[in-house]
């Protein structure tokens, strides 16, 4: 009598988990690209479910990576992938802020431009 390992599951069960997590991610892509404008509550629920599905896929990928690379390297890559979206948002806001400051300076709308203009008109700065 063969003893089954606790890690071995039926292929159908594994496929069902993977398809469910992929489906959770794809529903958000479909909602986002289809032009449908759901209520904010449904939109937040849809995004949350997509993040939930993506987190499962990311954790499964990290577990599989540990089979080929050392555990420390796999966890380091997982940590890097987890924080990259935060860095991307920060870079976008920094770039956007820099552009808006450059536009204001070019148009004379910066604080220094307002103070100089007020001083020229005889007002107090």
Asked whether the beta carbons of 105 and 116 are under 8 A apart, the reply is no
Q: What is the pLDDT of residues 19-38, one digit of tens each?
A: 899 999 999 899 888 988 88
Q: For the residues of 28-77, what is the DSSP string, one character each?
A: HHHHHHHT----HHHHHHHHHHHHHHHHHHHHHHHHHHHHHS-HHHHHHH
The pTM (predicted TM-score) of the whole model is 0.54
Whether the CB-CB separation of 49 and 72 falls below 8 Å is answered with no
pLDDT, tens digit (0-9, with 9 covering 90-100), for 71-101 = 888 888 888 888 888 888 888 888 887 777 6
Quick: pLDDT tens for 46-62: 988 998 898 888 888 88
Position of tokens 């948002």?
89
| d(C-alpha 95, C-alpha 101), whole Å | 10
């Amino acid at each position: 009598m063969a003893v089954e390992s606790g890690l071995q599951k039926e292929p159908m069960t594994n496929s069902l988990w993977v398809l469910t997590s992929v489906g959770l991610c794809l529903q958000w892509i479909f909602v986002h690209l289809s032009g449908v404008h759901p209520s904010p509550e449904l939109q937040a629920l849809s995004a949350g479910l997509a993040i939930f599905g993506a987190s499962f896929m990311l954790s499964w990928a990290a577990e599989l990576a540990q089979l080929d690379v050392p555990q420390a390297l796999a966890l380091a890559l997982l940590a890097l992938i987890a924080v990259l979206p935060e860095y991307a948002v920060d870079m976008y806001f920094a770039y956007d802020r820099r552009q808006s400051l450059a536009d204001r300076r070019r148009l004379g709308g910066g604080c220094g431009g307002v103070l100089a203009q007020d001083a020229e008109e005889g007002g107090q700065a």
